[in-house]
A and B are shown apart, each in its own frame.
Chain A
Amino acid sequence: DAGVIQSPRHEVTEMGQEVTLRCKPISGHNSLFWYRQTMMRGLELLIYFNNNVPIDDSGMPEDRFSAKMPNASFSTLKIQPSEPRDSAVYFCASSPPLRLAGEGGELFFGEGSRLTVL
């Protein structure tokens, strides 16, 4: 199993540029999450998809952020235009379907995309 695959691993860009981060979840997982990690704010949930449908995007900072999941094996997180305060490590995670009531909670994380906006 390849695990959750994210790209790029590192991105350095200038303020105002568009940034697209990509994620391939583990095959068979039906939930996908985008998190942002910074020293100041820790780990923040940005958006959550279930069966390719966005369920909760209340963590998305503002309209500059958008996320899509066109199919079960691919998701993107886009920032347009980017700002220096968007600098962070962005994690994608996936989880399998719940088999039993009350089961769950294990997330499988990718290695993250470290974004630096100058």
Chain B
Amino acid sequence: GEDVEQSLFLSVREGDSSVINCTYTDSSSTYLYWYKQEPGAGLQLLTYIFSNMDMKQDQRLTVLLNKKDKHLSLRIADTQTGDSAIYFCVLALSSGSARQLTFGSGTQLTVLP
């Protein structure tokens, strides 16, 4: 099955950029997502990218996809304390159905003042 790897922790200073990385094994994923989980809350979809795209930008967020290296990254510009959360890399198989999602272990982002 699909294997999705993320580093567990990342710390950055407020105002700096954060880059959260994810590697995966199955190249048949059609949709690749980033979900955010704030303390004591459920996961929320942050952004996503289709597998036929290399980059997607949405305000402070930039998603980069390198299909050759099976590498996905999320860059947060001008990181704020409110960005402190766990970020999950999530892949959907070719059907795109929510039932075929594979979650990474999550990266805990800590933003230091």
Contacts and interface: CB of A to CB of B under 8 A. Distances in A.
Interface of A: 4, 31, 33, 42-43, 45, 48, 50, 55-56, 91, 93, 95, 98, 101-107, 109-112
B95 interface: yes
B88 A105 contact: no
Contact of A102 (B96, B99, B103, B106): B96
Given A43-B88, A93-B43, 19 more contacts: A42-B103, A42-B104, A43-B103, A43-B106, A48-B99, A55-B99, A56-B99, A95-B98, A98-B97, A104-B31, A104-B95, A105-B31, A105-B97, A105-B98, A106-B45, A106-B98, A107-B45, A107-B98, A109-B43
Interface residues of B, number: 24
B96 A98 contact: yes
B3 to A, nearest CB: 12
Nearest to A110: B42
B99 A31 contact: yes
A112 B33 contact: no
B33 A109 contact: no
Contact of B42 (A93, A102, A103): A93
A104 B45 contact: no
A109 B99 contact: no
